[in-house]
Copies of this chain bind each other. A is one copy, B any other.
Amino acid sequence: MQIIRSVKEMQQLMLELGKENRIGFVATMGYFHEGHISLMKESVKENDKTVTSIFVNPLQFGANEDLERYPQDLENDKRVAEEVGVDILFIPEATDMYPTKMTFEIIAKQRTNVMCGKTRPGHFEGVATVLIKLFNIVRPDRTYFGSKDAQQASIVQAFIHELNFPIELVILPIVRETDGLAKSSRNINLTTQERQEAVWIHKSLEYGRQFVVDGEFIPAMIVQEVINMIHEKTSGTVDYVELLSYPELEPVINTGNQFILAAAVHFSQARLIDNLIIDSEGNKTR
């Protein structure tokens, strides 16, 4: 496995490699868990070469967010990437990714004013900006994202389409612990007590989904039921529970094909997210 830190070197290498190889790309912030591994494995299976980037993108963190606290374990990440079969690990420096003050800003007029976007102004614009840059550096044929960050996947889908990136977006299911908690780099910041409670995020979403299965597709009621259950069963504070069309992330109108029931919950040192993507009968579609 090659490890590359220079943006320029990476871009030169990929321009050459891309001529004769199908390139799969997994963009990450590191601290790999099984969610990341599932993305890398799928890419290794489907492409000639797999590139994984590790970059904790300052542009997507707000002033009061956990940029400094974001967990890192580069040695383990290298070992894992090598084992999984990643060909190139790209670990750029922030000063190399943002050498000058940006003249251009990417603004998203839709899909960002709901869910995580409501409390993280500029977050998804920061995500879109760094991904546009990474896509231009890596030039992948396919890129892999997880369903846990469903809003991110929705936004990546939109800008790939609208800006004509010739990249196939592959979205893989959420990887869960055996008790159902969605895997996340941030789970490490839960206390033992919180870790036990956290399973109720997923359980509460499943409880909400059951209303749809039972033919009671009443978004406001379902959202309130899920909020109540999370507050009853955990010490966390609900940031949001929302039921929206997917991938448009707009208020549910019964003509939609897919919907997302999503939650974000604050614990003492970690904010966790989870979701279910369902059809109008409540069947899980991912």
Interface residues of A (CB under 8 A from B): 7, 11, 15, 19-20, 100, 102-111, 128-129, 132-133, 136-137, 139, 155, 158-159, 161-166
Contacts and interface: CB of A to CB of B under 8 A. Distances in A.
Contacts of A159: 103-104
Contacts of A158: 103-104
A167 to B, nearest CB: 9
B128 A166 contact: no
A7 B132 CA distance: 20
5 contacts: A11-B164, A103-B110, A105-B106, A133-B164, A137-B166
A159 B19 CA distance: 24
Contacts of A161: 100
A106 B128 CA distance: 11
Nearest to A110: B103
A108 B20 CA distance: 36
A162 B20 CA distance: 27
Contacts of A104: 106-109, 128, 158-159, 162-163
Given A19-B20, A105-B106, A133-B163, 9 more contacts: A102-B109, A102-B162, A103-B109, A103-B155, A103-B159, A104-B108, A132-B163, A133-B164, A136-B163
Nearest to A125: B104
B109 A136 contact: no
A162 B100 contact: yes
A92 B105 CA distance: 26
Contacts of A105: 106-109
A162 B129 CA distance: 10
Contacts of A162: 100, 102-104, 133
Nearest to A141: B15
A19 B21 CA distance: 10
Given A19-B19, A19-B20, A20-B19, A164 B103 contact: no
Contacts of A19: 19-20
A53 to B, nearest CB: 12
Contacts of A163: 104, 129, 132-133, 136
A20 B206 CA distance: 52
